[in-house]
Amino acid sequence: MSLFKLGQAFLRHRAHSTPNLLKSAIQPLRCVYMSNNLEVPAHYETASERLSSVLGCSKQDSCAILMEYPEIKKCAGQRLHTTCNYLTKNLGVDKQLIMSFPWLLQFNKKILEEKVKLLSCVTKCAISSTVPLLKFDTEQLWKLFSNKLEDDHAYLLKKNCQDTQDRITFLANNLQCSELEVCNLISKYNFLMAVPIQRLDAVFELFRESKISSADLMRDAWILRYNPEQIKTRLEIIQAVGMDNAKPWHTRSLEKSFQRYNDLLSNSKK
């Protein structure tokens, strides 16, 4: 059965079996909590102790998590333990990583299992690397992956890439980062799964030739949705005027803004 048919069958089954318990995606935290000086309010005391026991963290850290994600406060201790054990023992997700994405604990095990089952059908990455994408419900996940699956596979094979590659590994290789970091980017910039992979490849090649760093691209991921020809034209101008330390935003800024910056640069060199 093709991935497309498998995904459709999976979603039809889910529509009749499980309600959508979380309609909106939840933004992950940027980093692990560091809140040792936080005073735990009395009404958070019990829930904070419960979460601290599950994650093996301080009560201050668990309280900070509960303040950011109050829904976790409503979860029974046994459910938190079950969800955490599933993430750590079944998926290989470290507790430190759970603390970076604590919204994971709002889902019960069954909901997570459905998402993991779908992700295992559409990507070859380790599920522990796709943690940021678990914030999406299964319909959103399928829409995210399904449109480009076959095109991506054909293009990567044509480029003689290993059969273990997919869009996530392709992005990780070109951005010189981990698959986890790519999935975190995708969770914020959904278009990374929609832009044709040939176009992404052309954009990456242009920036490699111009020696614009992968780190800069990750900080300004919007540039990856722009037309390669537009980027190429702007990069040629940047090279012609001798602009040092060019950044991705230089290739996507408005003509007026770019010209003003270019004039300032020219004047500073006189």
216-225 pLDDT, tens digit each: 999 999 999 9
Residue 193 has a CB neighbour count (10 Å cut-off) of 20
Confidence of residue 40 (pLDDT cuts 50, 70, 90): low
pLDDT for the residue numbered 39: 66
pLDDT of 36 strictly over 70: no
**HSE, side-chain direction, 13 A CA sphere, residue 187:** 23
pLDDT of 10 strictly over 50: no
Give the helix ranges, DSSP H, for 86-242. 95-100, 109-122, 138-146, 149-158, 167-175, 179-188, 197-209, 214-219, 228-240
Whole-number Å distance between alpha carbons of 63 and 102: 12
Please check whether residue 101 is in contact with residue 132, taking contact to mean a CB–CB distance below 8 angstroms: yes
Report the amino acid identity of residue 114.
E
pLDDT of 17 strictly over 50: no
* Alpha-carbon distance values, 145 to 88, 140, 167, 217 (Å): 25, 9, 9, 22
Share of the chain above pLDDT 70, in %: 77
The residue extents of the domains of the chain are 3-15+26-123, 198-270
pLDDT of 93 strictly over 90: yes
Please check whether residue 147 is in contact with residue 133, taking contact to mean a CB–CB distance below 8 angstroms: no
Rounded to 5°, the CA angle 2-133-52 comes to 135
pLDDT of 51 strictly over 70: yes
What is the tally of helices (H) and strands (E) in the chain?
A: 14, 0
pLDDT for the residue numbered 269: 58
Please check whether residue 14 is in contact with residue 138, taking contact to mean a CB–CB distance below 8 angstroms: yes
pLDDT average, residue stretch 152-161: 85
Please check whether residue 75 is in contact with residue 84, taking contact to mean a CB–CB distance below 8 angstroms: no
**Residue of 53, 49, 31, 32 lying closest to 40 (CA atoms):** 49
